[in-house]
């Protein structure tokens, strides 16, 4: 006969009157009360939770990118590498999250799509901040956030400051390479443009990886981040195409067409270019 004794061990805490519990620490009441569907349709809850999860991961990516940038600035590359590796791991979660949303059919989505109004992922300020920290600088992308002064100010500060690639380039210069002055003293509110001299520097690093291993590893960490970011963009685009085809996006964009334009852009052009030269 099976033994049905309780599995609860004598040392496990059971009484949380006046004490902090798991739910208290994570503020689960707040977190779980944030899912407020505007319809009674089954798949709207999936849609909301999927985007909540993505926003939480984006928050952690921002936390790690800013940490990595501070450490690059302080010549603590090894610590920055760990943060960048974590960003890549988080991005894997973002990519696979689209598999869950893809279980929603076009018919499912159309039952509640009108409830979204003009709301769109395009308006995610955290996604925009990730793009800015990686180096995408487009003034018009800040406009949807002007109605939230505190958010707009945070985006503006990052927009006017160096990206993680700018910090990497500065580290390359401090390592003794002859980085062009215009790359070190430029207007950071502008997107970095391909520079042949910098391409040659990275080519030297890649041709002698053991001699320049720290910079070599930095370059590969950055490529990992951009590679996964592009995978996320691609899966986003294909998920949208699968669910709404070529309809316009809820925020007024061309939808799939708009998302495809991001796939041709790069944050770290020289790091991709050197692969042809090796």
Of 154, 182, 149, which Cα lies nearest the Cα of 59?
Answer: 154
* Structure tokens given for 220: 């590969």
**233 assigned ligand-binding residue:** no
Q: Do the Cβ atoms of 83 and 67 come closer than 8 Å?
A: yes
Residue 3: what pLDDT? 65
Residue 114: what pLDDT? 93
* Structure tokens given for 146: 């002007």
**250 assigned ligand-binding residue:** yes
For residue 276, what is the enclosing H or E element?
helix 269-277
The span from the CA of 164 to the CA of 172, in Å, is: 12
Number of neighbouring beta carbons within 10 Å of residue 225: 25
**174 assigned ligand-binding residue:** no
The span from the CA of 252 to the CA of 131, in Å, is: 20
Residue 250: band (very low, low, confident or very high) from pLDDT cuts 50, 70, 90:
confident
Q: What is the pLDDT of residues 76-131, one digit of tens each?
A: 999 999 999 999 999 999 999 999 999 999 999 999 999 999 888 889 999 999 99
Residue 1 predicted with pLDDT over 60: no
**148 assigned ligand-binding residue:** no
List the end-to-end C-alpha distance of the chain, in Å, as a whole number: 70
Which segment of 126-130, 176-180, 247-251 scores lowest on mean pLDDT?
Answer: 247-251
Q: What is the pLDDT of residues 44-71, one digit of tens each?
A: 999 999 999 999 999 999 999 999 999 9
How many CA within 13 A on the CB side of residue 212? Answer: 21
* Cα Rg, the chain, nearest whole Å: 23
* Structure tokens given for 186: 């430029």
């Amino acid at each position: 006969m099976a033994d049905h004794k309780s599995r609860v061990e004598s040392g496990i805490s059971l009484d949380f009157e006046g004490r902090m519990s798991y739910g208290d620490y994570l503020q689960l009441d707040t977190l779980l009360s944030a899912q407020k569907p505007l319809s009674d349709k089954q798949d709207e809850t999936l849609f909301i939770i999927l985007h909540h999860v993505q926003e939480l991961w984006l928050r952690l990516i921002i936390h790690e990118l800013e940490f990595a940038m501070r450490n690059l600035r302080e010549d603590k590359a090894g610590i920055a590498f760990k943060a960048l590796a974590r960003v890549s791991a988080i991005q894997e979660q973002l990519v696979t999250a689209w598999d869950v949303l893809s279980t929603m059919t076009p018919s499912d989505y159309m039952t509640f799509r009108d409830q979204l109004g003009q709301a769109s992922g395009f308006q995610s300020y955290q996604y925009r901040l990730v793009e800015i920290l990686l180096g995408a600088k487009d003034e018009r992308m800040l406009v949807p956030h002007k109605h939230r002064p505190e958010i707009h100010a945070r985006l503006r500060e990052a927009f006017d400051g160096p990206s993680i690639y700018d910090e990497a380039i500065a580290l390359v210069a401090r390592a003794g390479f002859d980085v062009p002055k215009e790359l070190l003293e430029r207007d950071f509110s502008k997107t970095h443009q391909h520079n042949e001299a910098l391409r040659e520097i990275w080519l030297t690093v890649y041709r002698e990886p053991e001699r320049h291993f720290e910079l070599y590893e930095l370059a590969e960490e950055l490529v990992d981040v951009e590679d996964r970011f592009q995978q996320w963009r691609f899966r986003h685009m294909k998920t949208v195409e699968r669910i709404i085809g070529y309809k316009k996006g809820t925020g007024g964009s061309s939808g799939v067409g708009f998302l495809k334009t991001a796939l041709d852009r790069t944050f770290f052009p020289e790091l991709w270019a050197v692969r042809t030269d090796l």
